[in-house]
Structure 1
Amino acid sequence: MRICIDPGHAGRLTDPGAVSPFTGVRESDVVLSMALMVQRYLQAVGYEVMLTRTQDEQSETDDLSYRTNLSNSWRADLFVSLHCNSAGSSSAQGYEIWTSPGQTQGDILATKIFNQVADEFPDRVGRTDYTDGDPDKESRFYVLMYTDAPACLVETAFISNEEEGQLLANPAWQDRYARAIARGITDYVGGLSI
Structure 2
Amino acid sequence: MRVFINPGHHPGLDPGAVNRNYGVTEADIVRDVGVLVADYLTAAGCEVKTVQSNNLAGEDAAYTNVCLSANTWPADIFVSLHCNAATPAAQGTEVLVYSRWTQADMLASCIQRQIVGSLGTVDRGVKERPRLVVLNSTHMPAVLVEMGFITNDDDCQMLINQQDELARAIARGITDYITERGE
- Same fold, TM-score > 0.5, yes or no: yes
- The amino acid across from 2:145 in the alignment is V
- The amino acid across from 1:165 in the alignment is C
Q: CA deviation at 1:102?
A: 4.0
Give the conservation status (yes or no) of the 8 Å contact 2:99–2:105.
Answer: no
SS in 2 for 1:152: strand
Q: CA deviation at 1:16?
A: 0.5
CA distance in 2, matches of 1:163, 1:118: 15
The CA RMSD over aligned residues, in Å, is: 1.1
Indicate yes or no: 2:7 matched with 1:10.
Answer: no
* Pairing 1:1-194 to 2, within 5 Å after superposition: 1-12=1-12, 14-53=13-52, 58=53, 62-65=54-57, 66-87=65-86, 89-122=87-120, 124-128=121-125, 136-140=126-130, 141-170=132-161, 173-194=162-183
SS in 1 for 2:19: coil
User: Could you state the TM-score of these two structures normalised by the residue count of structure 1?
Assistant: 0.87
CA distance in 1, matches of 2:102, 2:68: 20
Over the matched positions of the two proteins, sequence identity in percent amounts to 45
Q: Deviations over 1:110-151 (max 9, x none)?
A: 0011111121023x20112xxxxxxx1000211001111101
Size of the alignment, in residue pairs?
175
CA distance in 1, matches of 2:21, 2:66: 30
CA distance in 2, matches of 1:3, 1:147: 13
Give the conservation status (yes or no) of the 8 Å contact 1:81–1:152.
Answer: yes
Give the conservation status (yes or no) of the 8 Å contact 1:22–1:165.
Answer: no
Give the conservation status (yes or no) of the 8 Å contact 1:97–1:152.
Answer: yes
User: Could you state the TM-score of these two structures normalised by the residue count of structure 2?
Assistant: 0.92
- The amino acid across from 1:163 in the alignment is D
CA distance in 1, matches of 2:38, 2:151: 26
- Gapped regions of structure 1 (runs ≥ 5): 129-135
CA 102–127 in structure 1, closer or farther in 2 if over 3 Å, else same: closer
Q: CA deviation at 1:24?
A: 1.1
Q: Deviations over 1:63-109 (max 9, x none)?
A: 1111110000101000000000001x211111110000242110000
Whichever structure has more strand as a proportion of its residues is 2
| Structure 1 residue ranges, 4+ long, deviating more than 6 angstroms after superposition | none
